Amino acid sequence: AQRVTQPEKLLSVFKGAPVELKCNYSYSGSPELFWYVQYSRQRLQLLLRHISRESIKGFTADLNKGETSFHLKKPFAQEEDSAMYYCALKPHSGGSNYKLTFGKGTLLTVNP
């Protein structure tokens, strides 16, 4: 079974402070991990995926298979980063499992 846990429902930081949104997963096979973001009154959109290994809007995330984690980090938070963030998992390409499993989300608020 696939499971994604985001332990923090709410996270509040000040502008310029570092931010880390936690994500832990459970999956016996090889996973693909994603972060999706939903800004106020906008639709859910892909922020980054671990296989791309790129930084989007200053955010990075490293897949740690030993700790089964995929935490999202940004060194200096901006007010425009305030949004709901969802971590999601999909079995690696191949096979017949196309299901994307989401965590419950973390609402990030960046205060001025």
Partner 1 sequence: DAGVTQSPTHLIKTRGQQVTLRCSPKSGHDTVSWYQQALGQGPQFIFQYYEEEERQRGNFPDRFSGHQFPNYSSELNVNALLLGDSALYLCASSFGQGGLGVYGYTFGSGTRLTVV
Q: How many residues bind partner 1 (CB under 8 A)?
A: 23
Q: Minimum distance from CB of 42 to partner 1 (Å)?
A: 8
| Binding to partner 1 in span 34-63, by CB under 8 A | 34, 43-46, 49
Give how far Cα 15 sits from Cα of 12, 35, 40, 48, Å: 10, 21, 18, 22
Residue 71 phi/psi, 5° resolution?
Answer: -75, 145
Q: Minimum distance from CB of 98 to partner 1 (Å)?
A: 3
User: Of 45 and 111, which has the nearer Cβ to partner 1?
Assistant: 45
Q: Is 98 in the site for partner 1 (CB under 8 A)?
A: yes
Give how far Cα 18 sits from Cα of 21, 26, 69, 94, Å: 10, 26, 18, 37
